[in-house]
Structure 1
Amino acid sequence: MLLRRSIARILVLWLALGAIQAQHRAQAQQTGTKRSLFAADYQKKIAAVLDADNNPKWKLPIGDIHDAQPLADGRWLTQTSFGNVVELDAEGKEIWRFDAGKTDAGGPIEIHAFRRLPNGLTMIAQSGAARIIEVDRDKKIVHSIPLSVPNPDPHRDTRLVRPTPNGNYIVAHEALGLAREYDRTGKIVWEYNVGSKLYSVMRLANGNTLIGTGDGHRVIEVDPNKQIVWELKQGDIPGVTLAWITMVERLENGNTWIVNCHAGPDNPQILEVTPDKKLAWSFKDFERFGNALPVAVPLTP
């Protein structure tokens, strides 16, 4: 009898300890200098702007999401599904919407990338139609750029697309495993074979290209001659597993912002890494968000 009671007590304590550890892993945590940010997760179906203490300024129910951009006066360009782009005011209320529509042949279109341009137009990458369009406030297409995709697929033609300083666009072709720069006629002027399902590309001020390699589990910086000049790979940060690397960004302080999607509750969902590959900051919140957080944007430190 005494032995059974002892075993029962041990079992209760073990279960309680497991619950405490699980709760600790789920709670919002920031390491380093706290900052506000935008984050969105399609498992928990939420997008939110959080302050430095992890309190939401606003929250938005969503379906799927792959991109977001902060605008002036607290506004945001984001999406609530792969079928739209929406502009939100500073309170998170929708004030403009563009719906993906269909291809000329009636096939489906998904949107995985968009950007409000300095001239006020909105760039939208239409996967399935294999093109980039620029639309005005009335949703009229002002310019269209064809993309070289042998077998267009609404879900895999593109991930992120970004304008370059010379007026071109650099495109992450997920299915092809290629980072490509297109001019405004659709001519390919630069290409790099990533070799994995890349998610993000960003042309840096020094002319290099920063790439989030998706299921390649790394971040690379490639020069115009296609040489890797900086790389963060699996095992470079002790105690952190790099999973599906989605958004990457080079911050003003020279550090690199990395979104670490599908890595599980024992790993941060977002990292900030120094040029010498030290962890400067991290974010983890598996209570509000889940294991499908592909979109995060840094705001004020």
Structure 2
Amino acid sequence: MRFSPAVIFAFGLLLCGASLASAQHRLALQGNGKLAIVDRDGKIEWEMKWGGIHDLHVLPNGNFLVQQGAAKVAEIDVKKKEVVWSYDSAKSNGNEGKRIEVHAFQPLADGGMMIAESGAQRIIEIDRSGKLLREIKMKVEHPNAHTDTRLARKLDNGNYLVCHEGDGFLREYDATGKIVWEYDVPLFGKEPKGGHGPESWGDKCFSAVRLPSGNTLIATGNGHSVLEVTPEKEVVWKVEQKELPNITLAWVTTLEVLKNGNYLIGNCHAGKGQPLLIELEPKTKKVVWTFDQFDTFGNDVSNTKALD
């Protein structure tokens, strides 16, 4: 049986539509004063009032772990829309009277919590009662409670991978606090320029992911890029500000490596008409999906989490 060109064209459109639909994601995110879950059709299925955040986790029980104010970590019961646990770094374990901000935390497999405390220049691990179990001092060359750190993660090897926003450095610490690897995020020969949008320029890295290869994927913040760096500090892959069709990268924030191998990239402060989130196939740098809800979530969506 032979099909006419029109039928073949229509069938192709159907295939494209199916591919795009399968690429869509159910998301958790915060913006415009609300924490929300957005379904695969882009509709809000759950929301509650909540201020700005710099980190976001979804626990096995479905609850959210988020920043609350400047220095608290809070667990939200999604069904009840209420805080069921919190820890205030500004008032606990020796920080009373200090200016403390928390921009990174991580639930641990043993039930404890890792918290990076900006202002105290330390990583701590606590149990759910708030008892201090471990303290690791960090190297910070430009101390500031707002910029000592952005995202930090405890790795499978027990080390800690920390984005030092103010220093423009990514540092890996072992359990004793010794720096075992660090990377100076490059400016690529340009002079730093202030601001938060596409017009700014800098090395204020926001997040990093250690890949199975041993390389490290880095979201460079106002460097408007994502870099893949080897242990020897060689850049072997990158995507730059204007490289993707019709997309301008601004403050590049969260990174997720999806099960399909694609990268989910946060694009904060990019302005109206630009996606808040981009799914990229790394080998071809093909954009397979974008999320753009500027009117709903505004210009400061720094954190997202794929829920599918």
Conserved in 2, the CA contact under 8 Å of 1:270 and 1:282?
A: yes
Which amino acid is 1:144 matched to?
E
Conserved in 2, the CA contact under 8 Å of 1:32 and 1:281?
A: no
Which amino acid is 1:34 matched to?
Q
1:2-21 matches, within 5 Å, as: none
Name 1:38's counterpart in structure 2: 28
Which amino acid is 2:27 matched to?
L
Cα deviation, 1:158-208, whole Å, max 9, x if unaligned, reads: 000011110000000001000010001110000001130110011112211
1:296 is matched with which residue: 275, 281, 304?
Answer: 304
Q: Distance in 2 between matches of 1:175 and 1:194?
A: 11
1:61-210 matches, within 5 Å, as: 61-91=49-79, 92-102=81-91, 104=95, 106-195=97-186, 196-210=203-217
Conserved in 2, the CA contact under 8 Å of 1:219 and 1:231?
A: yes
How many residues are matched?
Answer: 269
Q: Distance in 2 between matches of 1:37 and 1:104?
A: 34
> Is the partner of 2:294 in helix, strand or coil?
coil
Conserved in 1, the CA contact under 8 Å of 2:224 and 2:251?
A: yes
Instruction: Give the drift of 1:54.
Output: 2.5
Conserved in 2, the CA contact under 8 Å of 1:160 and 1:172?
A: yes
Quote the sequence identity (%).
Answer: 45
Q: Tell me, which stretches of 5 or more residues in structure 2 are unaligned?
A: 1-19, 187-202
Q: Distance in 2 between matches of 1:72 and 1:135?
A: 19
Conserved in 1, the CA contact under 8 Å of 2:89 and 2:95?
A: no
Q: Tell me, which stretches of 5 or more residues in structure 1 are unaligned?
A: 1-29
Q: Distance in 2 between matches of 1:248 and 1:254?
A: 12
TM-score norm. by structure 1 comes to: 0.85
Cα deviation, 1:215-241, whole Å, max 9, x if unaligned, reads: 000001111111112111122211000
- Is the alpha carbon distance of 1:50 and 1:216 closer, same or farther for their aligned partners in structure 2, counting shifts above 3 Å? same
Instruction: Give the drift of 1:286.
Output: 1.7
Conserved in 2, the CA contact under 8 Å of 1:111 and 1:127?
A: yes
1:50 is matched with which residue: 34, 38, 43?
Answer: 38
Q: Distance in 2 between matches of 1:32 and 1:81?
A: 36
Name 1:243's counterpart in structure 2: 250
Instruction: Give the drift of 1:151.
Output: 4.1
Which amino acid is 2:90 matched to?
G
1:264 and 2:254 aligned: no
1:286 is matched with which residue: 279, 294, 306?
Answer: 294
> Is the partner of 1:292 in helix, strand or coil?
coil
Which amino acid is 2:58 matched to?
P
Conserved in 1, the CA contact under 8 Å of 2:142 and 2:166?
A: no
> Is the partner of 1:288 in helix, strand or coil?
helix
Conserved in 1, the CA contact under 8 Å of 2:57 and 2:305?
A: yes
Conserved in 1, the CA contact under 8 Å of 2:30 and 2:52?
A: no
CA RMSD, aligned part only? 1.6
TM-score norm. by structure 2 comes to: 0.84
1:220 and 2:227 aligned: yes
- Is the alpha carbon distance of 1:203 and 1:180 closer, same or farther for their aligned partners in structure 2, counting shifts above 3 Å? same
